[in-house]
């Protein structure tokens, strides 16, 4: 006989933002190269795992090189340790193209192939903002997501920047959450408290799948950004991927990484909340606070025990079990390695950078040190956001593992919480001011980006 015990039901909150690559208004996020990821949102707003074509590393690299070589100019289709973008010049170029009735080229839509923001600089005259980071040629992966030719890392997108600039002034945090319906959660806990036994592991698995049906779909809510925006979809994808990595449904192919379900013992019990939140190694600045440098993995995972009452309402427990903390610490240590194989995590890292950058801009404008006001980047009428299917529900993900004669249940969700203003409370003066240098723009170059 297998005794069936509720070992863990992980419930989490999510907050964040990010954007996919070029393809507009479709319903899919996703991964490339057989890495982990990919979601689809049906017309009813139900989220599920997407089926993505798997390519070998060689096949993917060949496809990306061919596509980038055909679609990008030579100077853009090359790797750069530090590529600079003038936001003022970018804004003027977009305005010119729109006045001429021309479409925005891939270089603008994908922000010159930047894969990260390392530096943000306000010019001495107070009329421009320069962002800088590594960049490379880019092309759509098997799922349509724009990724770097060399690293296969998602590139930054104009859509990210638009949402961040338009929301930084009025919002202190951004997010979404996956939440079970309280009444269904209460019924599930009542069922699990019964003296249930199964003849074998297969019967236990079947019984727990029935429990998943009782839980039903969980509600998805988004705050801080439009629920039909690419940013919202990206937040939801990150949440979904955290859930799948925690249950072991997704294998990130990262050495030493273990799912939480595989780490659980039969003595584990309760409900937990997991979430992503920002974690920089440092944000450094100069004495004038006109240049800022970001470093570190950008993200961490945290855990919190929760208590559930008879009506299915949740609240934080006074303590959190060590095993949950160990899993969160493992995830945080391996964040960069996970981001290499899980595009949703890499995009979330980029999202943190973009949101922090927009908050720096908003603060500089409020203090008067930045006098630049965008012409079209902030104009929702002339440059509207793309629209996506609104994610409304996600099916319960129930997984079972046998631990001796006991059955370990996992009902797992995840989350992200990003508060850019709080992040900037810990800015420090750089000990080495040379780390804050940005290559100057050649006055003879008529372009909004340069290496």
Query: What are the tens digits of pLDDT across the range 194-233?
Result: 645 555 666 666 766 777 788 889 889 888 888 898 888 8
d(CA 260, CA 153): 26
Q: Which of 119-123, 143-147, 371-375 has the lowest mean pLDDT?
A: 143-147
Q: Which of 3-17, 317-331, 334-348, 417-431 has the lowest mean pLDDT?
A: 3-17
Q: Which of 136-145, 361-370, 442-451 has the lowest mean pLDDT?
A: 442-451
Contact 97, 103 (CB under 8 A): yes
Measure Cα distances from 41 to 33, 50, 193 in Å. Answer: 21, 9, 34
Report the Cα 92 to chain-centroid distance in Å.
Answer: 29
Residue 415: its pLDDT value, please? 65
Return the biggest CA–CA distance within the chain.
Answer: 79
* pLDDT band of 399, cuts 50, 70, 90: low
Residue 442: its pLDDT value, please? 74
Query: What are the tens digits of pLDDT across the range 303-351?
Result: 765 545 555 455 554 445 555 788 889 999 999 999 999 999 999 999 8
d(CA 177, CA 14): 5
* pLDDT band of 270, cuts 50, 70, 90: low
Q: Is 124 exposed, middle or buried (0-12, 13-18, 19+ CB in 10 A)?
A: exposed
Q: Where are the beta strands (DSSP E) in 123-238?
A: 129-135, 138-140, 146-148, 175-179, 197-198, 218-223
The mean pLDDT of 23-29, rounded to a whole number, is 40
pLDDT above 90: percentage of residues in the chain: 48
d(CA 122, CA 137): 26
Q: DSSP letter string over 16-52?
A: ------S--S-SB---STT-S--EEE-TT-BEEE---
Helix axis angle, 182-192 relative to 201-215, nearest 10°? 150
* H helices present in 292-445, as ranges: 322-333, 335-341, 343-367, 420-423
Among residues 407, 413, 412, 396, which one has the least CA distance to residue 192? 407
94: helix, strand or coil:
helix
**pTM > 0.75:** yes
Q: Is 279 exposed, middle or buried (0-12, 13-18, 19+ CB in 10 A)?
A: middle
Residue 6: its pLDDT value, please? 35
Residue 326: its pLDDT value, please? 86
The mean pLDDT of 98-123, rounded to a whole number, is 98
- Compare 179 and 375 and report the one with higher pLDDT: 375
- Compare 82 and 53 and report the one with higher pLDDT: 82
pLDDT at 17 over 90: no
Residue 7: its pLDDT value, please? 34
Question: How many of the other CB atoms lie within 10 Å of CB of 262?
Answer: 12
d(CA 168, CA 182): 33
d(CA 261, CA 246): 7
Residue 406: its pLDDT value, please? 53
Residue 441: its pLDDT value, please? 80
Contact 145, 28 (CB under 8 A): no
d(CA 51, CA 342): 15
Among residues 80, 140, 141, which one has the least CA distance to residue 115? 80
Strand partners, 141: none
d(CA 403, CA 410): 13
Q: Which of 59-68, 75-84, 320-329, 334-343 has the lowest mean pLDDT?
A: 320-329
């Amino acid at each position: 006989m297998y005794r069936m015990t509720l070992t863990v039901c992980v419930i989490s909150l999510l907050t964040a933002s990010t954007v996919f690559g070029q393809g507009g208004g479709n319903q899919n996020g996703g991964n490339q190269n057989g890495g982990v990821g990919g979601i689809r949102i049906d017309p009813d707003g139900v989220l599920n795992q997407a089926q993505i074509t798997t390519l070998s590393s060689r096949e993917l690299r060949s496809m990306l090189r061919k596509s980038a070589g055909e679609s990008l100019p030579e100077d853009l289709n090359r790797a750069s340790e530090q590529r600079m973008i003038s936001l003022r010049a970018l804004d003027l170029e977009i305005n010119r193209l729109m006045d001429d009735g021309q479409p925005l080229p891939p270089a603008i839509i994908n922000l010159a192939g930047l894969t990260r923001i390392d530096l943000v600089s306000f010019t001495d005259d107070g009329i421009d903002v320069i962002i800088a980071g590594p960049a490379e040629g880019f092309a759509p992966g098997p799922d349509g997501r724009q990724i770097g030719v060399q690293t296969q890392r998602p590139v930054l997108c104009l859509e990210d920047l638009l949402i961040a600039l338009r929301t930084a002034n009025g919002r202190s945090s951004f997010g979404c959450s996956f939440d079970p319906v309280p009444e269904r959660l209460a019924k599930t806990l009542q069922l699990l408290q019964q003296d249930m036994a199964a003849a074998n592991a297969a019967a236990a698995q079947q019984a727990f799948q029935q429990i998943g049906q009782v839980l039903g779909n969980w509600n998805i809510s988004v705050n801080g950004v439009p629920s039909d925006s690419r940013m919202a979809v990206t937040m939801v994808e990150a949440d979904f991927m955290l859930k799948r990595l925690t249950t072991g449904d997704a294998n990130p192919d990262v050495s030493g990484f273990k799912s939480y379900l595989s780490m659980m013992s039969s003595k584990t019990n309760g409900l937990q909340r997991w979430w992503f939140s920002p974690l920089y190694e440092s944000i450094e600045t100069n004495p004038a606070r006109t240049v800022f440098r970001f470093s570190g993995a950008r993200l961490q995972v945290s855990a919190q025990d929760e208590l559930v009452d008879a009506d299915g309402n949740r609240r934080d427990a006074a303590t959190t079990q060590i095993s949950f903390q160990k899993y969160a610490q493992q995830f945080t240590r391996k964040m960069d390695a996970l981001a290499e194989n899980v595009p949703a995590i890499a995009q979330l890292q980029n999202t943190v950078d973009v949101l922090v950058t927009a908050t720096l801009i908003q603060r500089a404008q409020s203090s008067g040190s930045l006098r630049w006001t965008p012409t079209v980047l902030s104009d929702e009428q002339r440059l509207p956001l793309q629209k996506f299917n609104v994610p409304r529900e996600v099916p319960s993900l129930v997984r079972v593992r046998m631990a001796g004669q006991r059955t370990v249940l996992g009902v797992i969700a995840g989350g992200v919480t990003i508060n850019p203003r709080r992040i900037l409370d810990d800015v420090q003066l750089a000990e080495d001011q040379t780390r804050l240098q940005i290559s100057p723009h050649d006055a003879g170059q008529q372009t909004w980006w340069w290496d």
